[in-house]
Structure 1
Amino acid sequence: MELGLGKHRFLTCFLIFLYVAFVFYLDNLSDSGMAVAVMYVIAVLLASGFASANVIRATGTVCVVLTVSAFVWGHYDDLFDDSLARCIFSVAAIAITTVLAVRNQRGTDVLAQRAGLLNLSNDAIFVRDLEGAIQFWNRGAEKLYGYRSYEAINAVSAELLNTKFDVRHAEAMACLVETGRWEGELVQTKRDGSQLTVASRWSLSRDERGRPRAILETNTDISERKRTEVKLQEQERERRVILNTVPAFVWTNLTDGTVDYLNERWTELGIDLSGISRRLENLIHPSDLPRWRDLWAQAEQSAEMIETECRLKTGSGVYRWMLMRGSPLMSNAGEVVRWYGVMNDIDALRQTEEALQQAHADLAHATRVATLGELVASIAHEVNQPLGAVVTNGEAALRWLHRTPPEISEVRDGLDRVIAEGQRASEVVRRLLSLSKKGVPLNKSVLNCAELITESLALVQRELMRHDIAVDVDISAPDVKVRGDKIQLQQVLINLLMNAHHAVLEVQNGARNIRISLKLSVTSDVLIVVQDSGHGICRKHQERLFTTFFTTKRNGLGMGLSICRSIISAHGGRISLQSEEGEGAIFTIELPACST
């Protein structure tokens, strides 16, 4: 193409040369009295169509020189006749034309440079007159709309692009004329028929008198951005629908503790969503607030998920138990920028738990009472034995007093025995009463395990002896101690001993033995082992033996071992079973030892 353009320019220059030579020839031969040299103006104009300013000046200078030369050549004998006026007129016409052509060339170069800059823009830029006819169409417009420049020039832009305004066209034009600018969004159609959305910016150009002359329109394709915005809006609507249907109270929290979002479920608590610029801690029960603040302080430092239970104040002023979970949103720098969380209403669950705990306590008491019912004979023996000794020693003391002289020393010894047996009977009654008490809170103290076993065994000893059950006590660690509630631990031991008692009663032929031992484990924990010589427990029953309401007894409640496990767990220990069918059962209680 450059070669073709070079040939075109060369040909044009050659034609201009021939034309100048022809004019020079006519100027020298003409005697018509006409200013033939004025025809040199055409050569200057031809040169201005493709040449630079210097070439135009050179062309004008050559034409002036030829005009003067022709005048001197043809009129040297009379330089001051009418031919001089024609020469001056021709030179002036050539000079003026040259100056104007140079100025026009400079203006054209400036416009070309500006048009070149506009062509560098990726935006679609075009110039149209007040009627909408396109006067300039840059490459960005060609690329965006698919129309070449020669196709768009002189076409009405609104018709060519099937433009749809977000406001009325008249309003846009009125704003443009008043302020000189207008911005908005337009929907336009490309050459291939597809539509796009553009951010359009109009600038009004005025002439020297301030009258509107042309409109520069710059359009940026925002179709992808609009699609993204629509998609984000749809996602936001979906998110809100999802959050409002979640069966939980959703919240988001800024780093300063201010709540900036609550889902609609909060209205069920009577909390006004319009006033969400508040802090959650303002709704927390005063008793839970210190723990709440400590938890948040730790969470802000560790930036880890938090979970806690607290009481939340509703719109009616009533507090309800909530399970709160919160998770941080981290920035790329590793800093917390927002907290997201949910709260679940667990008030009914907490009430149910409290009711279950009360029911558990009631069942534990019922179990102790039932155990006492089975120990009636042993109780009678334990109480009657010291009472009988009291009566016997009292009668003997009376006889010794009636002797002459009275045997005072014997009386003193008899009364000492009366006092001792009375204290023994009182201790038996105290232990039984404490075991039968209901609703006694956990009262931990340091207990001697050997004494705990001895006292528990004394309560069931009579019942075991009545059925010829031998009890072997092996205390290898007599001084070991634990920290616990004496009554509850006695309940566990008595329950295990009575279970062993029932197990060995089923043995028709064979030894009826129960072995209870006290020792330390390799980890220095206290081990209390109750072993019987019964038939044992099958494996399928072992898996459920500690389950509430499961029992292998005909008239059992299925609560004893479940309560035993709960008591031992509350003391930081555990209870386990080892049994083989036909070889009896071994229950092991493991409790942490206490040094003081």
Structure 2
Amino acid sequence: MSIVSTLLRARDAEGGHNVAFGLIAVALAAAVFYVDTYTDIEGAIAVLYVVIMLLAAQATTRVGLFVIAAACAALTLLSYAMTHGDDADLQSTTRLIVALAALFVTTMLLVKTETARLTLLAINSALKESEARYRSIFDRTRVALWERDYSKLRSYLMDVRAQGVTDIKTHARTNPTFVDHCIGLIKVVAANEAAREMLGPESSAVGSLRRSFITGQERFLDVVQAIMDGERVFEDMAEVRADNGEDKLVLLSIAFPEDPAAFNRVVVSMVDITQREMALKALAEAQAELTMASRAATVGAMSASLAHELNQPLGAIVVNSQTLLRWLDRDPPDLAAVRRSAERMIRDSQRASDIIQNTRGLLSPSNNKLESISLDRLIDETMALMEHELQRSGTTVHIERKAHIPPVSAVKIELQQVLINLLTNAIQAMDEARSPQRIIRIATARPDIDHVSIAVRDTGPGITDDVKDKLFAPFFTTKAAGMGMGLSICRTTLEARGGKLDGTNHHDGGAIFEMSLLIKPEVEHA
């Protein structure tokens, strides 16, 4: 749209010209011309044409102003010619110049004012169109949207920060009414239909914000912290509760404006991902069940295979042992026969050992090649795999990264399985103990020139004295549905690569498990 058409539309929107002002201006112009021409009054009567211009400005366009100004100037010159054409003097000429100058200046100012007025009308019209488009998008989109007024909350948070507060969660723990006070400062300006469908009419009603975040308010405090820190965008997953009591998992997104004055209209969006997360959870549970069934089948197959393969050499050892005793019972003992029986026993024992070694080799297939692994990347990828379980349990993970940790030469899947097992054990320990703080700390270190380590510490109840000695024993478990093989397999896996796994209690509480890894193992399989 061109600026000209916009200005014309703005002028047309006024509803036409004011005829009354026009008639008054015409009458006044005639009166001024008559007085200036046919009376003996001395003075710059023509200056009164300025009043005519002011009246005409209410009833005409910019072009009309120029026409009227030209007409007034023509009347002024005509009057001057009729009254002073033959005997013009300096005084009358000066009055003429003053009148024309006043008329010109007034016309320019009125044109400028008219242009500014029409421009303002055009801008206002464009703003109305933009607001209408925005409102149409806001109301019709299927994403749940709210407009909320965060201005009072931001002002309050700036006052809190001025008092030296930087950690909102710590401040909230020492001030139990802080969260409710902050929620009370937020007002809902508008909500679209999708928002009302997601949380219900009460949570989307215009007015004070209704508490919708599920118990704990952790995500709300994260939003408050983002406002205090001056962040422009906040995005995270959060659990919310609808008016009907249904809990939903949503992707929350808030765009904060740069201008503090614009915090009275902040757009908040939520996308319901409950069904997607339920599907992912069901898939993860199915995979876990399949893995457990596979492991059980593997254990059963291995047990049957070992029983079958070991039966013959063990039976031969028993027979040779009985034969050896009979040769020893002779008088005198037949030492040559005893020696042959002992040699056969050694042979059969070695055969049994070979069977066990071959079976163990199935657990460490030769196609698992060593590769260079960054511990930071390993931890990040494992956190991504564990994201759903950590969110489900409400567990926070703090990672303490040590600088200049070299990569290790290992099998990535093995280290990942060990780390997942340790994290899972930590989550389950805090679940069973109902720990008030659910925090896992992962720290990397380099204890010496040949080793690096990963320590996993939780805030659970720790390891009891009666469990410490049997912690890594196969088939020992403190869980009702546990198999007691997790920690045993983890330690065996690390030891097979020249590493080790230890577990103890931390002096500040909770259990801590440390994986020690060789940076460059000398052999691929121990």
What band does the TM-score fall into relative to the shorter chain? Answer: 0.3 to 0.5
Higher normalized contact order (CA 8 Å, seq sep 6+, divided by chain length): 2
The structure in which a higher percent of residues are helix is 2
The structure whose residues are more often strand, as a share, is 1
TM-score by length of 1: 0.30
TM-score in terms of structure 2 length: 0.34
